[in-house]
Structure 1
Amino acid sequence: MTALLNQQFLTALAFGQGIERASVQIESEAGTVSDARRFVREQLAIWMFSEADDFSDRVVVAASELVTNAVLHARTRPPGESELIAVTLAFKPGIALGVLVCDNSDQVPMVNIRPPVNAINGRGLALVNSLADGWTAAPRESREGGSGKGVWAFFRCPQTVGLLPRSA
């Protein structure tokens, strides 16, 4: 994935006119990953994406992996103390859809290129990389003064093939 293509997705989804957004905050706990999946499926249905569609499945699985990574690797507060993860969908009709997962960790996510064959974990971002048309991470600062990062996964809308160039 090229940085240029990721920049095109960010420009289409984070700036400009005609972008629809939906967000939810969930607790940073393993049991809430299903809440994130449900939120994404429901919002895709509101935006008229088919539930029985490869596109919707790819978006839901990628969102699930990003939230799982945030729960497993980005927690900054002690166990038992509340910590939230934000899940945002950004949709530019006819162009692209993005999933943004924000957490409180400054640690940059990295793809595990060669996880051991018998590894139980370590394939999340590799899966996101294979499902999405692009992904990136960026530091963020919250209004409350906290820091962390946002991890985006980008998807070219099914009817827009050719509007944004495919990666090499």
Structure 2
Amino acid sequence: MKQEIPQLDSPIRNFGVQLSSTPRGARLARLLATEQLRTWGLPTDPAAHIVAELAANAATHGRVAGRDFRLLLYVVGDTLRIEVADTRGECRPQTRHPTDDAESGRGLLLVDALADRWGTTPGPRPRKTVWAELSLPPDHGNACSGATGGLSQRPRR
């Protein structure tokens, strides 16, 4: 008797790259993520904004001279997960509420507004990973649906 192997309704897709903890590395993370999402036939927004914020934080607050950060994107089922890992595990990200005239400090507020879920995962030491998830529409893996389908919008609080 032949045993059937279960098939996934949608493929598992992943992309990872290690980048320098510099402003240039952060910009490259956004560009590479945008191109990978296009290759997968997924919309670039709001995922590209989330990648930009997490990569900028890794290059600014997670920077250790001579150590890189890692960007990982993957799709499993109906979820796009974005992960950025750096080598400052002792520096946990926190949302701040900057003054109106502050020039920075809004990155995690944007991530919180754009992502369905986000958080941090420790280790292995000295690393930490900041992650964000976006729900995909049910037809994201359907070749007949085209590449124009958007990420689902979460209800606003």
TM-score (norm 2): 0.78
Q: Which one has the bigger helix percentage?
A: 1
- The answer on 1:32 being equivalent to 2:17 is no
2: distance between equivalents of 1:159 and 1:118?
A: 41
Determine the C-alpha separation between the residues in 2 that align with 1:18 and 1:58.
Answer: 21
For residue 76 of structure 1, report the CA deviation from its aligned partner.
Answer: 2.6
Selected match of 2:99 from 89, 101, 116: 116
Which 4+ runs in 1 deviate beyond 4 A? 165-168
How many residues get paired?
A: 135
CA distance in 2, matches of 1:33, 1:105: 16
Residue 87 (structure 2) aligns with: 104
Unaligned runs of 5+ in 2: 1-9, 140-153
Root-mean-square deviation (Å): 2.3
Other-structure match for 1:20: 13
Aligned to 1:86, which of 70, 83, 93? 70
- In structure 1, runs of 5+ residues without a counterpart are 1-16, 51-55
CA distance in structure 2 between the partners assigned to 1:167 and 1:104 by the alignment: 33
Deviations 1:139-167 (A, max 9, x none): 011xxxx421000010000337xxxx969
3-state SS, counterpart of residue 110 of structure 1: coil
Aligned equivalent of 1:57: 45
Structure ID, larger Rg: 2
Residue 59 of structure 1, CA deviation: 0.2
